């Protein structure tokens, strides 16, 4: 099955589960790195099923987690930042880079998390180490996209594997 067909199959499965209010059978997250040449930044976004994400945050940080409650958004920002920074590492051009947490938003049954890396003058390669939700599921799948201009490189990382390298 091609990567595109596989990705759409996952999306369709997710939407069917949402429509019938069923627990989703797949444990999947997506991470996208997008190099913005003009701004010299890498824009990072992660998309994770909210119920799974709340479960792992509550388990790891031993506190009540409610990502949909605007009254505690600041507190949730801190917990999310801590989790994502410790479960997603990126090297650009062979060097470890520090991501700045931008924020999160809820989109239907998923949580979108946004990060940014500044001062990336050139972008020739990316190495992504992604263990998001590995501490909750041993069947976790991470779909990773790395985009530079019109070139997109994508893969799926299946537990226990955790790395993807894209060269441009």
pLDDT along the chain (168 residues), means of 10: 46 45 74 97 98 97 97 98 98 97 96 97 97 97 97 97 98
Return d(Cα 6, Cα 96) in angstroms, integer: 30
Count of Cβ atoms closer than 10 Å to residue 38 Cβ: 5
Q: Is 58 exposed, middle or buried (0-12, 13-18, 19+ CB in 10 A)?
A: middle
Measured in degrees and rounded to the nearest 5, phi and psi for residue 33 equal -110, 130
Spatial CB neighbours of 152, under 8 Å, sequence gap ≥ 6: 145, 146
pLDDT given for residue 112 in this prediction: 98
pLDDT given for residue 109 in this prediction: 94
Query: Nearest to residue 44, comparing CAs of 96, 106, 118?
Result: 118
C-alpha of 120 from chain center: 20
Return d(Cα 105, Cα 155) in angstroms, integer: 24
Measured in degrees and rounded to the nearest 5, phi and psi for residue 86 equal -90, -10
pLDDT given for residue 27 in this prediction: 94
pLDDT given for residue 23 in this prediction: 56
Tokens of 28: 């999947």
pTM for the model: 0.84
Tokens of 38: 């003009």
Query: Nearest to residue 146, comparing CAs of 162, 166, 132?
Result: 166
pLDDT given for residue 50 in this prediction: 97
């Amino acid at each position: 099955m091609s990567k595109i067909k596989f990705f759409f199959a996952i999306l369709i499965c997710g939407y069917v589960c949402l429509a019938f209010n069923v627990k989703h059978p797949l444990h999947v997250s997506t991470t996208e790195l997008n190099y913005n040449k003009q701004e010299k930044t890498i824009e990072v976004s992660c998309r994770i099923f909210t119920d799974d994400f709340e479960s792992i945050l509550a388990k790891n940080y031993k506190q009540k987690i409610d990502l949909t409650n605007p009254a505690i958004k600041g507190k949730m920002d801190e917990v999310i930042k801590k989790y994502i920074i410790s479960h997603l590492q990126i090297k650009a051009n062979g060097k470890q880079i520090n991501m700045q947490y931008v924020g999160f938003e809820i989109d239907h049954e998923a949580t979108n998390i946004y990060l940014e890396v500044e001062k990336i003058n050139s972008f020739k390669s990316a190495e992504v180490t992604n263990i998001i939700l590995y501490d909750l599921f041993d069947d976790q799948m991470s779909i990773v996209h790395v985009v530079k201009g019109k070139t997109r490189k994508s893969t799926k990382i299946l537990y226990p594997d955790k790395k993807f390298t894209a060269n441009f």
